[in-house]
Each structure stands twice: as C-alpha cells, then as structure tokens.
Amino acid sequence: AQSVSQHNHHVILSEAASLELGCNYSYGGTVNLFWYVQYPGQHLQLLLKYFSGDPLVKGIKGFEAEFIKSKFSFNLRKPSVQWSDTAEYFCAVNPRMDSSYKLIFGSGTRLLVRP
Amino acid sequence: EAQVTQNPRYLITVTGKKLTVTCSQNMNHEYMSWYRQDPGLGLRQIYYSMNVEVTDKGDVPEGYKVSRKEKRNFPLILESPSPNQTSLYFCASSLTSGEQFFGPGTRLTVL
C-alpha cells in the first residue's frame, strides 16, 4: 500500500538553528509532493509543492524542500528557524498514476522552536 | 476570496444523536474530501467525492455518510456518533494536481 513516513515526530530547536524534516514515500510511479503546515489552532496551509523540474523547490517563509527520486524522499529544510515556525508539518504525496486527486499524508512532525 | 468553510467549528454532542457538519467551497473544484485528524495519526481520509453524485470511501469511512448534491457542498453526516469519533475534522477541495485547500476544521466531542 502507498504510504508516507515522517520519521521525526517531535523536534525541538532553538531560534536560528537549522531545520531538516525527513519525508519518505512508498510509490514507484510519478508523484506530486507537498508540505503543509498547521499552526496551533489553525487549518492546514500549503508550504510548498513539487510537480516536476528542478528538484529543489522554494516555498513560503524561507522553507525549501529537495526531491531525491532515487531515495523516494522529499525533505523539508530551513536554514534558520524562528519562534513563529512552531507548528506541525505534514508531508503529502499525490500518486499521479492513481486517482489523480488523492493525497496521502504522513503522520506529521511537531516542531517547537524555543526563543 | 477563495475559501472552504465548515460549520460548526466546535460541537459537543452525546452518543447516538445524529449530526451533520457542513462544508462549502467557492472555487468550483470538482474534488472534495473529508479528513479526521488524531494525534500521532496525521490526517486520514474519511470519504471523497470526484463530482456531483459521485462519492467513495476513503481510509476510515465506518460510521460516516456523505452526500454531494451540489458541486459546492459536501456535508459529513454522523448518523449515530460514538465517542471514538471524537476528533478534529477537516473538509478540503482539490485541484487535479492533488493540491488541497482546507477548511478551518470542526472539533467534535462525543460524550
């Protein structure tokens, strides 16, 4: 079955530290990839997305992600986190050859940034 | 403003009392879906709809019903809620790429 794994369930960082959140998926075909962010008490918002082309994609608020096809990974990075980045982050995969609208989510990573 | 709306935002009810959570989108999207979010489990899809009068089960459909009589609306129905349906529910509408636009969420507590 298709699945998305986020290995870090909880991450605690100090402000200005660098961030990398791992995401791996199990699907052999072509995929669209997403990172969503959920700030405390809010709904999910799109952080960035990858459909094709340059595997390094830039999103909002200084986030970026790199698609490594050979590793089935789409890791999220930010060079210097801020207290306002405290949120839960979800990786999601759309298997393009399957139902074209379906989105499979990882279990999420809770990030706490200490001032 | 393009958006997905849900009502109510918060609901406390008792076991067995039928309830409906409404969802509406103004982006003319064909695809809509319902998710529940539980700690440590991420988002799990309950039901989805590819278009008007076309619905199908997601990963956790037991205890839920949906209908899609109009393109913009996709209500979630709990005929006989139970405590294990206490959760945070999100409605979403989608582009064909899979990119989904989420509503603000409905926090449901079933006593």
pLDDT tens-digit series, residues B35-45 = 999 988 888 99
Whether A52 has a pLDDT exceeding 80, the answer reads: yes
What's the angle, vertex CA B29, arms to CA B44 and CA B93, rounded to 5?
A: 20
Tell me the nearest-neighbour CA distance from B24 into chain A, angstroms.
15
Whether A1 has a pLDDT exceeding 80, the answer reads: no
Q: How far is Cα A75 from Cα A91, in angstroms, rounded to an integer?
A: 9
Chain A residue numbers with beta carbons less than 8 Å from the beta carbon of B102 are: 43-45
As a whole number, mean pLDDT of residues A71-86 equals 96
| Partner-chain contact A101 B105, CB within 8 Å | no
What residues in chain B have per-residue pLDDT under 70?
A: none
Does the beta carbon of B99 lie under 8 angstroms from any beta carbon of chain A?
yes
Does the beta carbon of A106 lie under 8 angstroms from any beta carbon of chain B?
yes
Tell me the CB-side half-sphere exposure of residue A86, using CA atoms within 13 A: 12
Does the beta carbon of B12 lie under 8 angstroms from any beta carbon of chain A?
no
For residues B79 and B73, the answer to whether their CB atoms sit within 8 Å is: no
Task: Supply the pLDDT for residue A97.
Answer: 64
Whether A7 has a pLDDT exceeding 90, the answer reads: no
